[in-house]
Amino acid sequence: MIENGWPRSAAWTDGELRLGGIGVRELAARFGTPAYVLDEEEFLARCALWREALPDGEVHYGGKAFLCPEVVRWLEAAGLCLDVCTGGELAVAAAGGMDPARVVFHGNNKSVAELRRAVAWGVGCVVVDSFAEIERLAALAGEAGVRQRVMVRVTPGVAAHTHEFIATGGDDSKFGFSLNAGLAAEAVRRVLAAPSLELTGLHSHIGSQITDLGGFTLAARRMSGFLLAAEREHGVTIPRLDLGGGLGIVHRPGDPVPPGPAEVVAALREAVPARVRLAVEPGRSIAGPTTVALYEVGTVKEIPGVGTYVSVDGGMSDNPRPAMYGAAYTAILASRLSAAPPREVTVVGRHCESGDVLVRGLPLPADVRPGDLLAVPASGAYQRSMASNYNHVTRPPVVAVRDGSARVIVRRETEEDLLRLYS
């Protein structure tokens, strides 16, 4: 078994990397490259770990990490709920057969059409994010003759030690209502004053790729204190506290190993009143380590005094995270063994951008050559979901592997798919 961010089925056999019991050379021949190879058993095992850690609460899978109808079916079978944040993600949830009562609808600027659709579908909960949205949703629920269940999103003023682009718990966040400025208390008052809305909980989320429990527990204490204060002020019971997700994963050797689900839940439980139903929203920590991105080397360019560039057939269109906020990955030569000594290279993509870099300072065998396959672990979260058609490159498929079998759960885009959009 290979560790450090790889799925548990990853193993070296007969001189090549195997995933889910299938060699990467066969996967590349059958499905092409680039491709995302998803270990189905790993995904389900990670769902089970969260479900086992919180049997008396709710585990909401963060759909923005990676979502498709087949994943929705896995979540339904695993007993998880689902977080969505757009009408498109609502559509995928419905296509996968998710019970709408187990769907939570997030987002800082949901449109009227999206809210109307969510109410009509019977979505389990809407996380309100602004005063305008409270008014908008109350009117739509009133028109529909229903009492819509909501949570109020609160920014607890907790700084997560992560990149500024994925930190969401500070007072300057675009998300939610500031606790410190008194806006969260006012939001609770307005929800309770709306006959067509039912306040079922409070919500917070402090950021992503977090590897220590300090921020989580501080946010949990602040949110618990606010919940108790709101109950006293209004003489109500607020049954649920959703403390979000954001737990990090290992992307490369040497990365800090984050706590596991049981440790996270135990720490949160200590800060939350026992009678309050706890909810969490893991996304990356479920999807991330399940998937390996597979690329073919196209060119190897040595520049004297500068270094070596290894170009692959993907890049920032299928993994924009290194260019967006400096996310660091590793990669290995996956299609053969090599006795050549390692040398540091820069793995780059095929796009017309100097910033199209996937991995910097990567030790690869000095004989790496065109036609070799490189494998990048920890590629299951925020890669396919953030992928683009930059330079009119088609997006890769997602291939699920399990027990020696492989099947496409998201097909590769074609040029015909791109051309259909043009008049």
* Mean of pLDDT over the chain: 94
At residue 412, the 3 state secondary structure works out as coil
- pLDDT at position 175 over 90: no
Q: At 391, which CATH number? A: 2.40.37.10
* Confidence grade of residue 3 (pLDDT, cut at 50, 70, 90): low
Q: Do 222 and 308 lie in a common domain?
A: no
Among 264, 282, 300, the domain-final residue is: 282
Q: Is 283 annotated as a binding residue?
A: yes
Residue 282: per-residue pLDDT: 97
Q: Do 264 and 322 lie in a common domain?
A: no
Number of folded domains that form the chain: 2
Q: Do 340 and 357 lie in a common domain?
A: yes
Total-model pTM: 0.94
Q: Do 255 and 336 lie in a common domain?
A: no
Sort strands 125-128 and 16-19 into parallel, antiparallel or unpaired.
Answer: unpaired
Indicate whether 401 belongs to any domain: yes
> Taking residues 53-82, what's their average pLDDT?
97
Q: At 246, which CATH number? A: 3.20.20.10
Residue 395: per-residue pLDDT: 98
Among 282, 308, 337, the domain-final residue is: 282
Q: Do 318 and 188 lie in a common domain?
A: no
Q: Is 282 annotated as a binding residue?
A: yes
Comparing 33-47, 151-165, 393-407, which segment has the lowest mean pLDDT? 151-165
* Confidence grade of residue 162 (pLDDT, cut at 50, 70, 90): very low
> Taking residues 106-132, what's their average pLDDT?
97
Q: Which residues contact residue 197 at a Cβ distance below 8 angstroms, ignoring those fewer than 6 apart? A: 134, 137, 138, 141, 147, 148, 149, 150, 191
Residue 2: per-residue pLDDT: 56
Q: Is 281 annotated as a binding residue?
A: yes
- pLDDT at position 169 over 50: no
- pLDDT at position 171 over 70: no
Question: Which helix (H) or strand (E) element contains residue 148?
Answer: strand 148-155
- pLDDT at position 163 over 90: no
Q: Do 330 and 379 lie in a common domain?
A: yes
* Confidence grade of residue 167 (pLDDT, cut at 50, 70, 90): very low
Catalytic site residues? 352
Indicate whether 54 belongs to any domain: no
Q: Do 135 and 197 lie in a common domain?
A: yes
Q: Do 184 and 329 lie in a common domain?
A: no
Long-range contacts of 109-113 (CB under 8 A, 24+ apart): 111/87, 112/136, 112/140, 113/87
Among 219, 254, 282, the domain-final residue is: 282
* Confidence grade of residue 4 (pLDDT, cut at 50, 70, 90): confident
* Confidence grade of residue 160 (pLDDT, cut at 50, 70, 90): low
Residue 189: per-residue pLDDT: 98
d(CA 237, CA 219): 20
- On whether the CB atoms of residues 127 and 194 are closer than 8 A, the answer is no
Q: Do 264 and 127 lie in a common domain?
A: yes
* Parent domain of 271: 106-282
> Taking residues 86-101, what's their average pLDDT?
98
> Taking residues 225-229, what's their average pLDDT?
98
Q: Is 284 annotated as a binding residue?
A: yes
pLDDT tens readout for residues 235-278 = 999 999 999 999 999 999 989 999 999 999 999 999 999 999 99
pLDDT tens readout for residues 385-421 = 999 999 999 999 999 999 999 999 999 999 999 999 9
Q: Do 254 and 302 lie in a common domain?
A: no
Q: Do 293 and 388 lie in a common domain?
A: yes
Q: What are phi and psi of 298, to 5 degrees?
A: -105, -45
Q: Is 382 annotated as a binding residue?
A: yes
The partner residues of 14 in beta bridges, in order of sequence, read: none
Q: Do 327 and 196 lie in a common domain?
A: no
- pLDDT at position 191 over 60: yes
Residue 22: per-residue pLDDT: 98
Alpha carbons within 13 angstroms on the beta-carbon side of residue 375 total 29
